[in-house]
Amino acid sequence: MKLPLPACTPTPLASYLKALGVLRLLSEQHPQANIRGAWERGCFVIHGDMTREKLIAFFLNDYAPTPIMAPWNGGSGFFPKDNREAIDAIAGGNAERLTVFRDLIAKVKALLATMELVEKPTPEQKARLLLACRNCLPEHLIEWLDSAYVLTEDGAKYPPLLGTGGNDGRLEFTNNFMQRLGEVFDPTTGIPVEKSTAWLGHALFGDIAPVLVRGTFGQFNPGASGGANASTGFDSHSATNPWDYILMMEGAVLFAAAAVKRLEASAGEQMAYPFCVRQSGVGYGSAALSDEENSRCEMWMPLWDQPAGLDELKALLSEGRAQINGRPARHGVDFARAVASLGVDRGINAFQRYGFQVRNGLSYFATPLERVVVRRNQLATQLLGPLDGWLDQFRRAAHGIAPSTAVSAAQRLESAILAFCKNSGDPHRAQEMLIALGRCERTMAGSQKWAHEAFLKPVPLLQTRWLSAANTGTAEYRLAAALAGLTGPLSKTWLPLRSHLEPVTAGRKEDRRWFSWQENPSRDVVWHDGPLADALNAILARRVLLAARGERLADTSFIPARLPDIAAFIDKRTDDRLLASLLWGLCLVDFGADYNADFKLERPREDHEPTALYALLKLCFSRHSIRETEIPLVAAIQRRAAAGDGVNASTLAARRLRASGLPVAVGQMHLQGETVQRTAAALLFPLSATDTSALAERVLRPAKTQPNPATQLA
């Protein structure tokens, strides 16, 4: 039998905890119903021998509240200055359902008397009281104590779900819990009050409720906190359904913390909490890095669609952890990667992400951030796994004393990783990650002093599968990949295009390749901000200069550019900003790896051809022989074209080809300006031998054929 609870939803946090509280109480106090629970269609559903009438009757007549109290807090009801109305009513009543509660209040008062505590404990007294509570109070209270605090070698640690040991600022959770109990039951007899049934129907099934009572949920339900614009008037007090608060606290008891000691850590004991990591200020609409500074943590609350019992849920929450590359997830981005790689317990089909952030002044709110569906994304593991160490180091450096560009680059990278992990196999998301990595590299190259002080190394070479994973089929991507793959011997040195973008030295040893920072930047670094054509012309001029020392132009690439894409670049039909961003990202790929299917990109759908000027100039700057003739490099041709002087550039190119014995069909071209400059920049794109031959056929006359001797004799 299935019983949906429409008012028990994944958001806000109070409703999520309320659903767990219902499952816990039914399983422990009404075991014969064999209750199991699951999340279906946005609400919690009970599976078992349970109807609406039975559920209402259980909570009204049989429910025995968990003895939740925090005598270590000021305002808990145990000290003279506290609000003692609720605790005195429970202690002085005769309700059978509150028997355990009354006995525990008596034991706590006896403990406080033994320790001579007659007012709010000082920090030293509080530490002793926390230890005494664990040593002297009954075993059935341990579950609540584990939820409220953990004792470690460094003192007490407080799980974020219950603030600082059961209170959040001036709001004391346990005293409020007892007050809410007094609003639904008569503490003397345990009989429900008149409105209790209606409140319960509203809390479980979303029925129309009577007037709610004054009270606050604190961090658990920001929408019910009252304040400005919270009602039809200018201001409103916070309103509470007592049953909502009661069931919420009963559910929070399930989240027990533990003190663990990881063998690989040099530090002492650390607090472990179910699905809890440091805040990452990315991935949601109001995301900001300031959230990380003003946040207790973030929690990823599991959602499952297969019925599970209380024992299964306790096992999940007590052992619930997310791991990535053999280590625990440290922050929200790590958790998203762990979810994508199935590094979490099985059986979870989604997570509701919450951030415990400062909102509305100095108050902490459990803010719902986003819903993350668990999907198997093996590609995320393959792409990001080798970068794990560098990613963690860059994040720490960017969140310390760092340039604003580094902070922005880190935030964009984390946003891209989070988005990719949630959208398995989407090449646009993979491309965003690639561009973000390129931005991080560009930031380090532009802030060398900061990078050295933070001990940051260049981004490790990316696997070639990034090429196919991030391929969106655009001309910009194909052109950037062709440029990024440029390599070849220059003065007996391996000089990939990346060496022209930033001060790095390329290293190779057997099958391993890497890049390291140069102590003294070389003259090979010629990239600069500004028009992309100017930067590409500077790179080509440098490579021509190096090749002019006795070697041919090195424009070898596993991915040759296509003529229609080059035509689009010359005609300004491509996005230069995107192309530059992609170039920085794709230069991080290990093009020295063995050739495989990752290097293959689809052909352009268009069939445009570049201008005759480009064809004429490219024949003078190609590693391929033209009709079995090698064309010597003339640097002046490139310089003239880069300056926008098409007349002299074309004249020099035609003269060079004729001098090499090639019959040129075109001569001087009267072109000037930006088109010529972009044509010169396009010379840097590597071409295949087939496309180079096609260009030759466009601007050269047909080769003269030797007469057949047999024909002459005839």
Query: DSSP characters for 296-337?
Result: EEEEEEEE-SS-B-HHHHHHHHHH---EETTEE--BHHHHHH
Contact between residue 397 and residue 456 where contact means Cβ atoms under 8 Å apart:
yes
Output the pLDDT for position 328: 80
For the chain, counts of helices (H) and of strands (E)? 29, 23
Contact between residue 158 and residue 148 where contact means Cβ atoms under 8 Å apart:
yes
| Nearest CA among 348, 351, 275, 270 for reference residue 317 | 275
> Does residue 339 come out as left (phi exceeding 0), alpha (psi in the -120 to 50 range) or beta?
alpha
- Given a cut of 80, whether residue 536 has pLDDT beyond it is yes
- Given a cut of 80, whether residue 230 has pLDDT beyond it is no
- Given a cut of 50, whether residue 326 has pLDDT beyond it is yes
Could you tell me how far CA 207 lies from the centroid of its own chain? 39
pLDDT in tens, 76-91: 999 999 999 999 999 9
- Given a cut of 90, whether residue 50 has pLDDT beyond it is yes
Output the pLDDT for position 382: 87
Question: 337-360 burial, b for 16+ CB within 10 Å, e for fewer?
Answer: bbbbbebbbeebebbbbbbbbbbe
Output the pLDDT for position 491: 41
Return the beta strands (E) in 555-637 as ranges. none
Q: Give Cβ neighbours of residue 459 (< 8 Å, ≥ 6 apart).
A: 387, 390, 437, 440, 441, 588
Report d(CA 613, CA 647) in Å as an integer: 10
Grade residue 594 by pLDDT with cuts at 50, 70 and 90. Answer: confident
Lowest-confidence pick of 341-350, 508-517, 598-607 = 341-350
Report d(CA 348, CA 355) in Å as an integer: 20
Mean pLDDT of all residues belonging to the chain: 87
Output the pLDDT for position 704: 67
Count how many Cα atoms sit within 13 Å of the Cα of residue 44 in the half-sphere of its side chain: 26
- Given a cut of 80, whether residue 651 has pLDDT beyond it is yes
Residue with tokens 């317990």, as numbered in its chain: 345
| Nearest CA among 679, 697, 689 for reference residue 610 | 679
Q: Reduced to 3 states, what is the DSSP secondary structure of residue 288?
A: coil
pLDDT in tens, 343-381: 555 678 899 999 887 765 556 788 888 888 887 778 888
Output the pLDDT for position 84: 94
Output the pLDDT for position 705: 53
Report d(CA 527, CA 538) in Å as an integer: 7
Report d(CA 240, CA 242) in Å as an integer: 6
| Nearest CA among 336, 181, 153, 319 for reference residue 250 | 181
> Does residue 508 come out as left (phi exceeding 0), alpha (psi in the -120 to 50 range) or beta?
beta
Q: Reduced to 3 states, what is the DSSP secondary structure of residue 5?
A: strand
Output the pLDDT for position 288: 67
pLDDT in tens, 169-205: 778 999 999 999 999 999 999 999 999 999 999 999 9
Contact between residue 365 and residue 359 where contact means Cβ atoms under 8 Å apart:
yes
| Amino acid identity at 375 | R
Question: What letter would DSSP give residue 154?
Answer: T
Count the helix, strand and coil residues of the chain and give each as a percent rounded to the nearest 5: 45, 15, 40
Contact between residue 340 and residue 423 where contact means Cβ atoms under 8 Å apart:
no
Lowest-confidence pick of 39-53, 138-152, 384-398 = 138-152
376-401 average pLDDT score: 89
Give percent of the chain with pLDDT exceeding 70: 89
| Nearest CA among 81, 69, 52 for reference residue 147 | 69
Q: Which residue has the higher pLDDT, 714 or 183?
A: 183
Residue 640 backbone phi and psi in degrees, to 5: -65, -45
Report d(CA 126, CA 521) in Å as an integer: 59
Report d(CA 304, CA 47) in Å as an integer: 13
Q: Which residue has the higher pLDDT, 437 or 365?
A: 437
For the chain, the residue count is 714
Question: What letter would DSSP give residue 151?
Answer: E
